[in-house]
Structure 1
Amino acid sequence: MDFFIYNERLGIPIPAFNKEWDDYSKETQQMILFHWEKIRGSIPDRIKDLEELINEKQAMLSDEGDFNKSCELNSEIAELASIINDLWLWYRTNQDISEKIHM
């Protein structure tokens, strides 16, 4: 769909509009909202997958004796946590958009 672009870091498509929302027809708005609702619904599963990766890396960290490897694992965990935070922001910030589907 032309209204979304896949974000490699987040692992989901995100909105990428080339004009103002009100400049789209009502039909196009409904199509966009329907598609966004499907994407938005997948965010909790994506977060769960990332949380599992964090848990794996934390388990590796608890057994790691090499300082440099520990720093690398900590950095990876921090990046995964940052992605989760951004996903929650997309999920919550756009909740009001998703509610328009039901209006």
Structure 2
Amino acid sequence: MDKYRFQWNDRLGIPLPVLEFDWDAYSEDEQARIVEQWETIRGAIPDRIIALEKRIHIEQARLYEEDDFDTSCEINYEIAELASRINDLHIWYRINQEIEPRRHS
């Protein structure tokens, strides 16, 4: 069994770290490898957010033109889900800021 892995998350469109132990239980070399892999993934998050924002703009345009209430509700739900994904991506993007100081202490 691996001590850690990066597992694809369909909802966010990026692989996420799956750590089997608390961060401090990893050796400095393991922590460095994890951070290095995460940095590569993390670098793609802004592009992912931009893509989701474009989808929100498309859905907002659809909503503006929609006259059917039920369809409008569905579009609003889709916009809310996309916004939730963006929020989650922002949280994951900040994860490195929490790991780096611990790694250097």
Q: Which runs of 5+ in 2 are unaligned?
A: none
Distance of aligned partners of 1:9 and 1:60 in 2 relative to their CA distance in 1, 3 Å threshold? same
Match of 2:40 in 1: 38
Identity among equivalent pairs (%): 53
Kindly provide the CA deviation profile for residues 1-40 of structure 1, in whole angstroms up to 9, marking residues without a partner as x. Answer: 9522111111111111111223222222111110001111
Q: Which runs of 5+ in 1 are unaligned?
A: none
User: Which residue of 67, 89, 92 corresponds with 2:91?
Assistant: 89
* C-alpha deviation, 1:99, in angstroms: 6.1
**1:47–1:87 CA contact under 8 A, matched in 2:** yes
**1:33–1:100 CA contact under 8 A, matched in 2:** no
Aligned partner letter, 1:87:
L
TM-score, normalization by structure 2: 0.85
Return the alpha-carbon distance in structure 1 between the equivalents of residues 104 and 39 of structure 2. 11
> Pairwise CA RMSD of aligned residues?
2.1
Alignment partner of 1:9 is 2:11: yes
Return the alpha-carbon distance in structure 1 between the equivalents of residues 36 and 104 of structure 2. 10
Matched length: 103
With a CA cutoff of 8 Å and minimum separation of 6, indicate the structure with the bigger relative contact order.
1
